[in-house]
Amino acid sequence: MMRYSCMVCLVAIATVSLAPDRAFSQTPSPSSLQLETKILLGDVKGRIDHMAIDLPRRRLFVAELGNDTVGVVDLNGQKVVHVITELKEPQGVGYVPSSDTLFVANAGDGSVLLFRGAEYASAGRIDLGDDADNIRVDSASNRVFVGYGSGALAVIDPATNGKIADIPLQAHPESFQLARSDRCIFVNVPKAREIAVVDRFASKQTASWPIENGSNFPMALDESSGRVFVAFRNPPQLSVFSVRSPRFRYNPFARDVALDPGRASAPRIAVPHMLPSSE
């Protein structure tokens, strides 16, 4: 397999205004996000997947799926300071500040591996069985959620490092987002052609938003406006949902989405264009 000198770019490639009275726009403005820096990840084979951050240490975790590694990036020094090796197609990463633990979900063997402290010492293993993927951390309830297998969210207690519940779904979950103001989890389930709405305290799906296109992978949530942003791969488009129905559509080539809620009058959604490159 070809190797690439991979890098993390701290940049928004395309930003979309979310003001209710304003059409979607890619027009650059002084407030648009701009390229700040590029951080080389080194000789990494294959593609990278999801990322997470340790804010107190200013360290970024990068799941290097094709390389079976997780790179640890020092954002202040703008360099890789550690590499966790011998993984099995790592996809999801999540950092739990209360226990200073990094959770790594592996697609290859369905495991979630735990690494603790500044030196990332091995701290445990949870076997989910198949295709462990996205990870989300709910700091308020001290729970970790992991999408995996043919259709479930595993609920993990980081105090005991054990799985305490499963939330069944119709098919394998892709990106999902936790509402902070209520009990809901919104889950992309492409093979079921739906966005599932889950009650995380009752551990069950409570609603389904049917969709025509089964390529809904990335997702972001803006709780302040009650909108869920879902990027589709084929055809490439961004759809915005309220609790009742879609409101807007925008069509970039999207690999992931991220919400910048800092601008109260008109928050922005960032849509990175993830194109292959040998540079």
Q: What percent of the chain has pLDDT over 90?
A: 67
Domain count, the chain: 2
Q: What is the pLDDT, as a whole number, of residue 24?
A: 45
189 and 265: one domain?
A: yes
37 and 79: one domain?
A: no
72 and 128: one domain?
A: yes
Contact in structure between 259 and 220 (CB atoms under 8 Å): yes
79 and 35: one domain?
A: no
103 and 193: one domain?
A: no
Q: What is the pLDDT, as a whole number, of residue 34?
A: 81
pLDDT at 145 > cutoff 50:
yes
63 and 132: one domain?
A: yes
Q: What is the pLDDT, as a whole number, of residue 248?
A: 47
Among 134, 168, 202, give the residue marking a domain's end.
168
Q: Which residue segment(s) compose the domain that 215 sits in?
A: 1-42+172-279
33 and 84: one domain?
A: no
Q: How far is 172 from 134, CA to CA, in rounded Å?
A: 11
158 and 179: one domain?
A: no
100 and 62: one domain?
A: yes
DSSP string computed for 186-232: EEEEGGGTEEEEEETTTTEEEEEEE-S-S-EEEEEEETTTTEEEEEE
- Paired with 221 in beta bridges are 228
CB-based burial label for 34 (10 Å; 0-12, 13-18, 19+): exposed
181 and 258: one domain?
A: yes
Among 168, 189, 206, give the residue marking a domain's end.
168
User: Which pLDDT band, with edges at 50, 70 and 90, does 90 fall under?
Assistant: very high
Among 168, 186, 204, give the residue marking a domain's end.
168
CB-based burial label for 21 (10 Å; 0-12, 13-18, 19+): exposed
Rounded to two decimals, the pTM is 0.83
Q: What is the pLDDT, as a whole number, of residue 272?
A: 54
185 and 277: one domain?
A: yes
Contact in structure between 156 and 163 (CB atoms under 8 Å): yes
What's 254's domain CATH number? 2.130.10.10
13 and 51: one domain?
A: no
